[in-house]
Every structure is written in structure tokens, then in C-alpha cells.
Amino acid sequence: MTQLLSDEHQALAESVRDFANQVIAPVSAKHDAEHSFPYEVIDQMGQMGLFGLPFSEEYGGEDGDYLAFCLALEEIAKVDQSVAITLEAGVGLGSMPINRYGTREQKEQWLPDLLSGKRLAGFGLTESDAGSDASGTATTARLDNGDWVLEGTKEFITNSGTDITSLVTATAVTGTTETAQGGVKKEISTIIVPSGTPGFHVGPGYDKVGWNASDTHPLSFTDCRVPEANLLGDRGRGYANFLGILDEGRIAIAALGTGAAQGCVDQAVEYATSRRTFGSAISSYQGISFKIARMQTRAHAARQAYYHAAHLMLAGKPFKTEAAMAKLIAGEAAMDNARDATQVFGGYGFINEYTVARHYRDSKILEVGEGTTEVQLMLIARSLGMV
């Protein structure tokens, strides 16, 4: 395993692991119970440079690579998925679109604060009838006297309503074109909407099953005006650009899922070797030890899958299918390991102050968010020429 990592990668993972155990873990149960956003933790992560890991030093990044970012996510997710998804979305959905498709002026305006962790950004794609299906996008943006005027709503937008959120990039229909078959195709573009813009409203946070310390809101735009220069990337390429971002994001989500799966293993081993029944540690019973052995196997397979996808990406080779497989494997590993770890813990696994209980609630979304399990299966099947 370590042969796949450089000395720098291993040192980073160890540093983040120490931070996660010493700083994040002690306050995780509190923030989860209170549904409060861990501003003090995010601030320290910013000071460590975690939000700038895969970005150039030109705009304040750490000049690292995407694998380094994924390693940080894995270590954090072992103890707190809410904090991990805040980092993943802040980098992958917040900063990365601006870094990839923004003008120099947009990068200079927004990236320094985002890469330092002083500010966060969200990506407004999902709607009640749109997400994986771009044709369902109903939010519109029209040009009027040099402004884009947005109308519509978004759902489930991460990092969109914190006190340090600086912007949301929103996909919107900016026109239509006729298809060769005589139909109409929506032109979807992406537009930067700064926080506090008149007509941009952030709804109350959702009462979620898990990820309770992460920030997730519905959004609405009513006669919301931003300058024409706030178009992000080429007009009509908003959804296509997002798909590219999403392919990379699936590797990051796979790293997060791997961390959750491994966290369940680590905690189950610690508990099973200390918990005694009938005069013996429960780890001495095959029913328990074999269960944990299977958990470790799942975590190992998930790690190999996301390492492979990340190495393909860094080598400039196609990685879409491998990213989908990594996300599928890791999401299922996290959910399966959370269930088994809860069983190992018995009654304590049903108490929210224990990390395995939070993993049990948190992990389900890994089979839904950033592309459901069914979407991953569709992509994999398509790569085999079957769909």
C-alpha cells in the first residue's frame, strides 16, 4: 500500500490523522448533537492548508495534487464525515470550478480566500426535478442591461449558508437550441452568485438523518441580478463542465467513504479487544473476528479502487469508469462496515456519542450524493457497451 504513496503523501496523511484524532474527534459528538457548524475546526484546517491542497501557489494553494487532497479526506472521514464533506465540497464543488473555468479576474477575486479556508463556496446544481438529469433544470438566467437575472430554486446545496460562505455557482437555463430531430435542447450555463446578493435567498438548513454538522440548504433566486461578467466558463457549457468536476469528485467521495469504512474497522477492533464476555475478549470469538476481517477487506478494496482512479487522473489517462467504480465500492463499504461495527458494539453502537453510531447515520448518503449507486452502475455498464 505505501508503495503507492510518496514520502510527502505519507507525511501528510500522518499529519492529518493526528489533527483528526486530537482536534476533530473530541468535538464531533457535540457538533453532531447540536447540528452546529464547526467553525473553529474549519479555521484550523484552513491554517493547515487543507483547502488549498490541490491548487497552484499562484492563488494561495499548496501546489499539491489530487491524491494528497483525497488522503486528507480519508483521514478526516475516519472520525467525522461532516467535517470531511465540508472539505470535499469546499474544494471539489466550491473552488475547483472557479479554478478550472474561471477568468483570471474571477480567480484573483475569489480563490485566495477560498483556498485559505477563510471562505467557502457552494455549487447549485440540484433541483427538485434536476440533478443527474440536466434536462430537468428549471432555474433560468436572462441577460438584461448587462446583468444576468436569475429565477428559480435549488435543493441540497452544501456550504451554501454558513457565515463564511462567499458565493454559490448556479446552473441555469440561458437559452434553447433546436435539435436535428426538431426538438428543443436547453442551453445550461453556470453563473457566480455572491452571498448577500439581493434576490438570492438561503432557506433554513435541512433536518438531516446524518452529516448533521455540515451545512446544507435549499436556495431560491427571485429577480436576482449579478453582472454579466459573473458567467463561469463558456455560455452553454455549464452542465458539461460540471460533469468533468463530478468525475474528479467521485474519487474524493470514494476517499471519504474509504475513511468512514476504515474508521469503523479501527473502532471495532479497539472495542472488540477490550470488551469481555464470559471471561474472554469478544475478539476471540470467530463470529466477531471474522466480521471485522470482512470489514477490513472492504476498506482495503475501497482504498485500492480510489488510489487507482486517482493515479489514472494524475497521469492524464481516462478515469471516468474507475472513478465510478471507486465511488460505488467505497460507498457500499462504508454502509456495510457501519452496520457491522454497530453490531459489534451492541447497545453502545446505538448511542449517538459513539462514532460508529454516527457513521451508521452518515454513511447512507454516500450511496446517494454526487451520483447515486444506480448512476455509478449505469456509467460502468455504459463503459461495457451495455447501456
**8 A C-beta contact, residue 170 and residue 193:** yes
Together in a domain, 371 and 260: yes
Together in a domain, 81 and 207: no
Together in a domain, 84 and 140: no
Number of domains in the chain: 3
Q: What CATH number does the domain containing 185 carry?
A: 2.40.110.10
The domain boundary residue, chosen from 87, 120, 153? 120
The domain boundary residue, chosen from 206, 236, 266? 236
The domain boundary residue, chosen from 236, 266, 293? 236
Together in a domain, 248 and 369: yes
120-124 vs 200-202, strand pairing mode: unpaired
Neighbour-count burial for 73-90, b at 16+ CB within 10 Å, e otherwise: bbbbbbbbbbbbbbbbbb
Together in a domain, 254 and 186: no
Together in a domain, 250 and 369: yes
Together in a domain, 263 and 317: yes
Q: Which residue has the cell 452529516?
A: 211
3-class DSSP assignment, residue 234: coil
Domain, as residue range, for 211: 121-236
Together in a domain, 158 and 246: no
Together in a domain, 274 and 162: no
Decide if 370 is catalytic. Answer: yes
Together in a domain, 247 and 367: yes
Together in a domain, 267 and 379: yes
The torsion angles phi and psi of 374, rounded to 5 degrees, stand at -65, -35
Q: What CATH number does the domain containing 271 carry?
A: 1.20.140.10
Together in a domain, 338 and 348: yes
Q: Which residue of the set 228, 270, 370, 374 is catalytic? A: 370
Q: What CATH number does the domain containing 114 carry?
A: 1.10.540.10
pLDDT in tens, the chain (387 residues): 456 789 999 999 999 999 999 999 999 999 999 999 999 999 999 999 999 999 999 999 999 999 999 999 999 999 999 999 999 999 999 999 999 999 999 999 999 999 999 999 999 999 998 877 777 899 999 999 999 999 999 999 999 999 999 999 999 999 988 777 777 889 999 999 999 999 999 999 999 999 999 999 999 999 999 999 999 999 999 988 988 898 999 999 999 999 999 999 999 999 999 999 999 999 999 999 999 999 999 999 999 999 999 999 999 999 999 999 999 999 999 999 999 999 999 999 999 989 999 999 999 999 998 889 999 999 999 999 997
